[in-house]
Structure 1
């Protein structure tokens, strides 16, 4: 938990005490590879903070998985749309690896926010970060070539190429697996 506390303190510019208060309502949970963190069709009432491991958020379209995002160490994970709107999730969140995650419920987070004003500020910062991340992803999917999207992914997290099967990377980038193979052969040394 110490590394998680340090990360939260750094990310949100909190004191160690504030980070401890924020994390005080989180519960440590262990998931095995292929375990489901969040089921599609259910209202998402929790947020996870990954200490170790890797998860994927997927939409199901006619039996095919469409990768929306990957979440790994020091990332928050949730269906934030479902969380904010209190509506059933259209996504499933599943572990790609054995994963350790700290989980907080909506009720606990709201209680912390009422008791500690700095947590409301954190919420605003998180909303800004999520907006910017989604904006960059959408802009890239509209304007960048498949090669540019792949290179961006591996430049941000080169270890993901070793951890995520090629067909999942292809789904995330909205390209065919054989395109990923061609890109790897031609552009990656």
Structure 2
């Protein structure tokens, strides 16, 4: 938890005491590979912070998984849309590896924000970062070709490219696994 406290303090420009206070309301959860953190159809009323492990967020499209996002060490994980709107989740969040994370409920987070105003600022910063990430991803999907998207993944999230199977990377980039193979072959020449 100490490394997460330092990470949160640095990420959100908090004092170590404020970061510790924020994380004090989180409870440790240990999940195994393939365990579900948020099920499709379930209202998401929690946010997790991953200490160790890897998770994927997927939509189900006619029986096929469509990867929306990956989350790993130091990342927050939630179905934010379901969390905010209090509607059933349209996606599933599942572990790709054994995962240790710290979880806080929406109720605890709201109570904490009432008592400690810095939580509102932290929440606003998280929302802004989430918006910017989604904006960049959408822009890339609209303007970049498959090779550019793959190269961006390697630059921005190199460690993930080594941990995630090719077919999941392909789904995330909205291409076929064969396209990923061709891109890798072309890049190795």
TM-score category (smaller protein): over 0.9
**Residues 188 and 151 of structure 1: CA distance in aligned 2, closer, same or farther (over 3 Å):** farther
What's 1:135 paired with?
Answer: 135
What's 2:40 paired with?
Answer: 40
What's 2:23 paired with?
Answer: 23
CA distance in 2, matches of 1:98, 1:183: 30
What's 1:100 paired with?
Answer: 100
Kindly indicate whether residue 123 of structure 2 is the aligned counterpart of residue 118 of structure 1.
no
What's 2:60 paired with?
Answer: 60
Give the 4+ runs in structure 1 shifted more than 6 A: none
Deviation at 1:188, TM superposition (A): 4.1
Deviation at 1:177, TM superposition (A): 0.2
Q: Under a length normalisation based on structure 1, what TM-score does the superposition of the two structures give?
A: 0.99
Deviation at 1:157, TM superposition (A): 1.7
The one-character-per-residue Cα deviations of 1:39-70 (angstroms, maximum 9, x if unpaired) are 00010000000001100000001000000000
What's 1:169 paired with?
Answer: 169
SS state at 1:159 partner: helix
Structure 1 unaligned residues grouped into runs of 5+ = none
Deviation at 1:158, TM superposition (A): 1.3
Kindly indicate whether residue 83 of structure 2 is the aligned counterpart of residue 87 of structure 1.
no
CA distance in 2, matches of 1:4, 1:99: 14
SS state at 1:129 partner: helix
**Residues 188 and 115 of structure 1: CA distance in aligned 2, closer, same or farther (over 3 Å):** farther
SS state at 2:20 partner: helix
